[in-house]
Amino acid sequence: MRAARLIRMVLLLQHRPAMTAAELAKELEVSERTVTRDAQALSEAGIPVYAERGRAGGYRLVGGYRTGLTGLARDEAEALFLSGLPSALREMGLADAGDAARLKVSAALLPSLRDTSAGVSRRFHLDAPGWYREPVTPELLPAVAEAVRDDRTVLARYRRPGRDAEVERELSPYGLVLKAGVWYLCARAADDFRVYRIDRFTAVTVSDTRFVRDETFDLPGFWDERAAQFARSILRTEVTLRLSEAAAARLPHTVDRAAAHDALAAAGPPGPDGWVTVTLPVESLDVAYGQLLSLGPELEVLEPDGLRTRFAVAAERLHSLYRRPR
């Protein structure tokens, strides 16, 4: 523990011209007295840490000293590639590894390039979770992430949606995906690759057995394919619509994008009024009502009759509401 802290202190001083005891204490999460003792220990070990007294004083390395302790450990290298997702690092238990990796990379750079990481972080930020929801970190995510990194099989109990009973599976965990604030595991169960929501795991036991990874497995490609399959699978019914030019342009932003593009591509030419008739697959009539109502008078529902009636009732209510004086 102390050895790791001493290395981190050297890297911090190598990265910056000088740091006060208070700054080092904050970075290392120790007291200023501990910083003083650590600086003395480094000096006794032959590392030229110099303490400057006074209001502008602090600690610095003498003579451009550079340590060779900049090689990345495996988890640090993995964390570096995820460094644009600080929340993801925290949830997987890799926040400290990410900090250490960025320090080591910064320490290895030429002095003229050391502000690169700070400049990037000031200009770009990736916020993965969706709006209007409080993200909840699955309790078992760190254990699953460890198994993914080490290619270790897991015995997992899983609660399937809509069912009270749990199932138990032995899984080879290939990869993790963070989609709109929800964590998913892509794993091989028997001879088939499947997708599991991490928050539906009720128990995970990481074994000491490593599985042989199929090197042809393409995580981004697999996820894109399964996501498209899922999107198509929930579109179980169809509605027929007339759309104005404005509604046709907004449709891909209102319903499933792929379904909207396919429906518009299959539609015939616009009528004399510029409106086009489309047949659109939707998840359900209730979902379609909520989504399509936002298009207002730019849309007419032709079929089914039940949905058309609901739109007619909504139009009457709006007409009555706005006909009244304020």
Q: What tens digit of pLDDT does each residue of 238-274 get?
A: 999 999 999 999 999 999 888 899 999 999 899 999 9
What does pLDDT average to over the chain? 81
State the amino acid at position 19 in one-letter form: M
- Helices 95-108 and 74-81 cross at an angle (nearest 10°) of 90
**Range from 26-40, 88-102, 143-157, 235-249 carrying the lowest mean pLDDT:** 88-102
Three-state DSSP at 291 gives: helix
Mean pLDDT of 92-107: 64
Of 195, 177, 179, nearest to 135 by C-alpha is 179
Residue pair 176/187 in contact (Cβ under 8 Å)? The answer is no
Peptide bond into 252 cis (omega under 30): no
Of 222, 213, 219, nearest to 172 by C-alpha is 213
Mean pLDDT of 189-217: 90
Q: How many CB atoms lie within 10 A of CB 74?
A: 10
Q: What tens digit of pLDDT does each residue of 268-300 get?
A: 899 999 999 999 999 899 999 999 999 999 999
Three-state DSSP at 320 gives: helix
Report the DSSP pairing between strands 58-61 and 152-159: unpaired
**Range from 40-49, 65-74, 285-294 carrying the lowest mean pLDDT:** 65-74
* Residue 230, pLDDT score: 81
Residue pair 185/173 in contact (Cβ under 8 Å)? The answer is yes
Locus of tokens 């993200």: 135
Q: What tens digit of pLDDT does each residue of 127-145 get?
A: 556 665 666 678 898 899 8
* Residue 9, pLDDT score: 84
**At a CB cut-off of 8 Å and minimum separation 6, what does 153 contact?**
147, 170, 171, 172, 173, 207, 209, 210, 211
